[in-house]
Amino acid sequence: MAITIKTEDEIKKMRVAGQLAADVLRMIRPHVKPGISTDELDQICHDYIINKQKAIPAPLNYRGFPKSICTSVNHQVCHGIPGERILKKGDIVNLDITVIKDGYHGDTSKMFCVGKPSIQAQRLVDIAHQCMVIGIEQVRPGVRLGDIGFAIQTHAESNRCSIVREYCGHGIGRQFHEEPQVLHYGQPGTGVELKAGMTFTIEPMVNAGKKEVKLMPDNWTVVTRDHSLSAQWEHTILVTPEGHEVLTRLPDDEI
């Protein structure tokens, strides 16, 4: 699949989808508290996307995924399936939201702290966010994907954390996953050169321990091999002639 350069009309539709995805994360924030199950969070988001936004939750039935959002708790890296797990004080959880509106996708995720997290957990959540922001700040025409990956990897490793290698960001638009693959590690000056009109996600998965992960028997949930905590943040980015636009950032939100 070739990398698609989005037209102005496509960009407008992606802005709408991105804002809807961001809106789901804002809506769900008050519900992420001790005593709620990940399945309840999924149901609240599903109902909101379907009934309020008149949109489609992209994960549902995508390659067989059974739920409308991903919920990854503590040492779960990504693609956690919502279920009976009850959130408790001190947990950290990533909620990954992808919305389809008028045929186009908006994809974003955030870390939520359930009650007061440990110092280590808060530190990891902050470093993972910094990694994403540092990656986004690199985006402009002429930059190469390796430059983005190198900047993210350098920040994580300088803080004694590690970057997951097996999963990465991706092009996005009419399809959930398009070219290019956006690695969160790499070498400067390598990889695809960015051009205005490209749209893709930056979503580094940062582990407090070693970088190795494993896939659970459900064939979706990814966890750290050493059971260390993992954190991830994600935005959908548009490359503009002058730099970049964060399509999944609401106007009054920080990155």
Task: Determine the number of helices (DSSP H) and then strands (DSSP E) in the chain.
Answer: 4, 15
Percent of the chain with pLDDT strictly greater than 90: 99
pLDDT-derived band at 55 (thresholds 50, 70, 90) equals very high
What are the C-alpha distances in Å from 71 to residues 11, 92, 254?
28, 10, 22
> Where does the chain show beta strands of DSSP type E?
56-57, 70-73, 76-78, 92-101, 104-113, 162-163, 169-171, 178-182, 199-202, 205-207, 213-215, 222-224, 230-232, 235-239, 244-246
Residue-wise pLDDT for 109-151, tens only, equals 999 999 999 999 999 999 999 999 999 999 999 999 999 999 9
**β-bridge partners, 96:** 70, 109
- In CATH, what number does 8-246 get? 3.90.230.10
What are the C-alpha distances in Å from 172 to residues 10, 119, 221?
11, 35, 22
Using CA atoms, how far apart are residues 229 and 122, in angstroms rounded to an integer? 10
| Residue 227, pLDDT above cutoff 80 | yes
- Burial code of 236-246, b = ≥16 C-beta within 10 A, e = fewer? bbbbeeeebbb
According to the model, what pLDDT value does residue 1 have?
Answer: 72
According to the model, what pLDDT value does residue 4 have?
Answer: 96
Using CA atoms, how far apart are residues 72 and 54, in angstroms rounded to an integer? 26
> Taking the model in full, what pTM does it have?
0.97
Question: Position of tokens 């991706």?
Answer: 170
According to the model, what pLDDT value does residue 131 have?
Answer: 98
Q: Using an 8 Å Cβ cutoff, are 38 and 82 in contact?
A: yes
| DSSP state letters, 181-229 | EE-SS--TT-SPBP-TT-EEEE--EEESS-S-EEE-TTSS-EEETT---
Q: Using an 8 Å Cβ cutoff, are 95 and 32 in contact?
A: yes
Mean pLDDT of the chain: 98
